[in-house]
């Protein structure tokens, strides 16, 4: 915790005052390009309804020391070089950006027109993937999600014996990660109905979303060198929203014995702004409280720090807007509201386990939590759970119903952090509209 977290700090950027997502206490990083101009992609920081161009701020002389080194790393059109520098440089840049944008900024007092040179209206910018993602892995970290899904297929034994011992994950497809706003085409695949003698190849009829958080790797680890649980979070740069689209009917036929493949590799949508781990410090909570009888994590996944503050008090939400809802000007309907505090495994445990066999994670790599679900029905993070595999369709305000997603449906993910004595910060949105096969 430092001065950047002060809830009383304000900014000379007017739209940042009481902004739902991007007050001065947040300052997430992203990649943008001014729309309609002969300009290159650049690294920026979200502040209210504006984007601080890091390169322009550096040129204006507003950054020095480690912050200037970090700003130089932002001269490339991705965050990878910045992510590779490590926590001291990330923190220095965040601190000086906060000071530059603060109401009492000497630079602003000396030049009230500085905003015209270093800020770009968000409404005039296109946003891109934050990093060049070399590798993507997805975990299965919600015990409520795992139990619900297991109950549909194995009611007598929902959780497999390994679940409470090892963070389960699979290797995803990095090439099909897309930024928020990119349309998602309904995939085709092999599907076998329960009573059919053989499978057929056709478009999925069980297209689903998954409400997740994604974590960008900062400094990586050399091949063959694990990372201890005490060091894990020093390697984590920040979080984004993730919608890991899933074709459930393709998945149920293909997933045994090796797990998801084509049912998930057609698209994964991420939000464009990366909320840094430092910005999330005020919202730390203890790791998930394991019920009596559950095994304690093995020593390589356990530490006092992880137990006392490994979790995050972070609310995640999913909204749906059908084509008919948009035509009738009906606002998106909230389908689900959950919390990252319900994750059985912490981000540090996920990273440590990922690297425990010597797997080398690199700057800009992404891993996701898996679907975030809670104990209540309203906190279930996908349609597979909300409609209980289609047996309990959702009723929409237009009179429509949904078992799974239809063409023209738009899924919107949002997230925020709020705690007593801290400013509210958010993640922006993670949107995707379904196109026909």
Confidence of residue 37 (pLDDT cuts 50, 70, 90): confident
Quote the CA–CA distance of 98 and 432 in Å, as a whole number: 32
* Three-state secondary structure call for residue 50: strand
- For residue 38, the model assigns a pLDDT of 74
Confidence of residue 107 (pLDDT cuts 50, 70, 90): very high
- If you average pLDDT over residues 120-145, what whole number do you get? 98
Tens of pLDDT along 283-306? 999 999 999 999 999 999 999 999
- For residue 127, the model assigns a pLDDT of 98
Q: Are 336 and 318 in contact (CB under 8 A)?
A: yes
- For residue 385, the model assigns a pLDDT of 98
Quote the CA–CA distance of 392 and 403 in Å, as a whole number: 7
pLDDT(62) > 90: no
207 Rama class: left (phi>0) / alpha (psi -120 to 50) / beta = beta
- For residue 109, the model assigns a pLDDT of 94
Known catalytic residue: 378? no
- If you average pLDDT over residues 80-92, what whole number do you get? 98
φ and ψ at 399, to 5 degrees? Answer: 95, -5
What residue has token string 């650049």? 42
Of the residues 5, 19, 89, 145, only one is catalytic, namely 145
User: In terms of C-beta density within 10 A (0-12 exposed, 13-18 middle, 19 or more buried), how is residue 172 classed?
Assistant: buried
Residue-averaged pLDDT of the chain: 97
DSSP 95-143: HHHHHHHBTT-HHHHH-TTHHHHHEEEGGGEEEE-SS--S-EEEE---H
Lowest mean pLDDT among 56-65, 85-94, 96-105, 194-203: 56-65
- For residue 79, the model assigns a pLDDT of 98
Tens of pLDDT along 390-415? 999 999 999 999 999 999 999 999 99
* 80 CB neighbour count, 10 Å cutoff: 22
Tens of pLDDT along 164-195? 999 999 999 999 999 999 999 999 999 999 89
- For residue 80, the model assigns a pLDDT of 98
| DSSP, res 356 | T
pLDDT(156) > 90: no
- For residue 36, the model assigns a pLDDT of 81
- For residue 58, the model assigns a pLDDT of 94
- If you average pLDDT over residues 359-363, what whole number do you get? 98
pLDDT(39) > 80: no
- For residue 61, the model assigns a pLDDT of 85
């Amino acid at each position: 915790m430092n001065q950047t977290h002060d809830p009383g700090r304000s900014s000379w950027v007017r739209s940042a005052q009481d902004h739902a997502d991007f007050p001065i206490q947040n300052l997430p990083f992203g990649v943008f390009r001014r729309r309609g101009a002969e300009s290159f992609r650049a690294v920026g920081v979200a502040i209210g309804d504006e984007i601080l161009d890091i390169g322009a701020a550096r040129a204006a002389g507003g950054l020095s020391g480690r912050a200037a080194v970090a700003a130089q790393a932002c001269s490339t059109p991705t965050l990878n070089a910045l992510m590779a520098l490590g926590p001291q440089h990330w923190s220095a840049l965040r601190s000086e950006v906060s000071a530059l944008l603060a109401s009492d900024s000497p630079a602003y007092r000396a030049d009230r027109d500085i905003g015209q040179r270093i800020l770009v209206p968000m409404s005039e910018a296109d946003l891109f993937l934050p990093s060049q993602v070399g590798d993507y892995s997805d975990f299965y970290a919600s015990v409520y999600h795992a139990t619900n899904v297991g109950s549909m297929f194995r009611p007598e034994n929902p959780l497999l014996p390994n679940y409470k011992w090892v963070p389960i994950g699979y290797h995803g497809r990095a090439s099909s990660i897309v930024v928020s706003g990119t349309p998602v085409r309904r995939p085709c695949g092999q599907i076998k109905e329960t009573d059919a003698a053989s499978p057929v190849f056709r478009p999925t009829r069980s297209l689903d979303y998954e409400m997740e958080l994604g974590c960008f790797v900062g400094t990586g680890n050399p091949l063959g060198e694990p990372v201890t649980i005490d060091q894990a979070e020093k390697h984590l740069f920040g979080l984004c929203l993730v919608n890991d689209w899933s074709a459930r009917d393709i998945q149920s036929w293909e997933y045994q014995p090796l797990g998801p493949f084509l049912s998930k590799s057609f698209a994964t949508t991420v939000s464009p702004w990366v909320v840094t781990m430092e910005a999330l410090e005020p919202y730390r909570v203890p790791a998930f409280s394991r019920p009596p009888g559950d095994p304690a994590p093995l020593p390589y996944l356990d530490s006092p720090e992880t137990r006392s503050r490994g979790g995050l008090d972070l609310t995640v939400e999913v909204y749906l807007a059908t084509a008919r809802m948009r035509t009738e000007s009906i606002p998106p309907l909230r389908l689900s509201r959950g919390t990252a505090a319900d994750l059985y495994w912490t981000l540090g445990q996920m990273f440590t386990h990922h690297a425990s066999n010597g797997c080398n994670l690199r700057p800009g790599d992404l891993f996701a939590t898996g679907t975030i679900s809670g104990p209540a029905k309203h906190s279930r993070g996908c349609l597979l759970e909300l409609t209980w595999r289609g047996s309990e369709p959702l009723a929409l305000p237009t009179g429509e119903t949904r078992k799974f997603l239809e063409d023209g449906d738009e899924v919107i993910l949002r997230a925020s952090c709020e705690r007593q004595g801290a400013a509210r910060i958010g993640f922006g949105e993670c949107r995707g509209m379904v196109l026909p096969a």
